Structure 1
């Protein structure tokens, strides 16, 4: 069983995807970490974000086993990830890596922006997780402030809106809801209620 979880930044799709993976005993991949890793490496190596070939080279050298989620959670890395994710050469380098993960014999849970439309259009379950920009900004602000990052809510909201526009407007694999995806709007839902709703969607689609 392949479960595809898509949605904009700070929508809670990662939390839902991790919970579903644990519930069903499936491997999980946060595909956004791949772009965050490329963005972080570009920042560390002072690679020009206009140099698509150099950024694609970084993507081609990525090692899934070496990803450190905690080290990739900063706001600066998130912004860098959004910038590299619009580049077709970078996306092409990471496409096979993601598709191979999805096609494991046991199945998998993947979350990102184009799982149900590009990475695994054959997925049995597709969920599009969303919330208002204001709700997502509040969640991301609490997360970043809790780690001691000097940000304001207004800055985070502006970043969320900018990333939404970039993700939805890019020419290569834009953020769009797959036609057969179920929308899960969790603006007014807490963590547990969001997960419960996702489990209901899986059960309705698969009987599991």
Structure 2
């Protein structure tokens, strides 16, 4: 890696594995920038719907993705990064199950991924970047010096999401959540464009049964910063 290229820690894995929380904590601890790549796909899906673009209209989706006006803003520990779309706070809106499902549909299209690729790489600036996603280590930053693949059982991820939604006052069925997670995993793992999998040189961390502090400690150790 060139001395002029800022270092990157990639944290890949399925939704609900804890990577969103961990990447923010890592970025704060290291004083590095943060990229929530999954938000870009959710933002593309949301912007498409707002512009009345069908989620199977690939050329139009590419134009939406290329024209995204997005800003990430840091938040207090424990909160998701604040996401602005054309200046509007859409942090909560893009975290709904519907938006997540739509994002997964959009993400299978290689031309859409290509449109967002350079935008993601532009986040790589000094002093460093912690990148959260599904293909950060395999596609976006293949030369990253530290790659982490964070996972957890589908049951554990459904339980976490269920508790999160119930605490927010949203009535939800845990069996339905589990089925949605399994369907999304199947689609993400088997898609032709950048399937969800650990990079060959990634360090795999299973967060099932671990506290977020224990997961952070393991990620810091993997990053050589413990």
User: Which category describes the TM-score, using the shorter chain as reference length?
Assistant: over 0.9
Give the structure 2 partner of residue 145 of structure 1: 166
Runs of 4 or more above 6 Å deviation: none
Which one of 51, 55, 58 corresponds to residue 61 of structure 2? 55
Pairwise CA distance, 1:6: 0.2
Q: 1:20 matched to which residue of 2? A: 26
Shift of 1:167: 0.9
1:70 aligns with 2:79: no
RMSD: 1.4
Contact between 2:158 and 2:177, CA under 8 Å: does it hold in 1? yes
1:83 lines up with 2:89 in the alignment = no
Secondary structure (helix, strand or coil) at the match of 2:218 reads helix
Name the CA distance, whole Å, in 2 between partners of 1:46 and 1:144: 28
What secondary structure, in the 3-state scheme, does the structure 2 residue paired with 1:5 have?
A: strand
The 8 Å contact of residues 5 and 13 in structure 1, kept in 2 or not, is answered as yes
Alpha-carbon distance in structure 1 between the residues aligned to 2:185 and 2:44: 19
Q: Secondary structure at the match of 2:39?
A: helix
Shift of 1:160: 0.6
2 CA distance for matches of 1:13 and 1:64?
A: 21
Cα distance 1:139–1:109, how it changes in 2: closer, same or farther (>3 A)? same
Residues 45 and 102 of structure 2 are in contact (CA less than 8 Å); yes or no, is this contact kept in structure 1? yes
CA distance in 2, matches of 1:33, 1:161: 20
CA distance in 1 between counterparts of 2:102 and 2:179 reads 15
Distance, in Å, in 1 between the alignment partners of 2:168 and 2:182 is 22
Query: Does residue 202 in structure 1 map to residue 223 in structure 2?
Result: yes
Secondary structure of 1:179's counterpart equals coil
Tell me the equivalent position of 2:119: 97
- Mapping 1:164-203, distance limit 5 Å: 164-203=185-224
The runs of 5 or more residues in structure 2 that have no matched partner are 1-6, 72-83
Distance 1:69 1:96 in 2: 23
Larger % of helix: which? 1
Q: Which runs of 5+ in 1 are unaligned?
A: none
Q: How many residues align?
A: 204
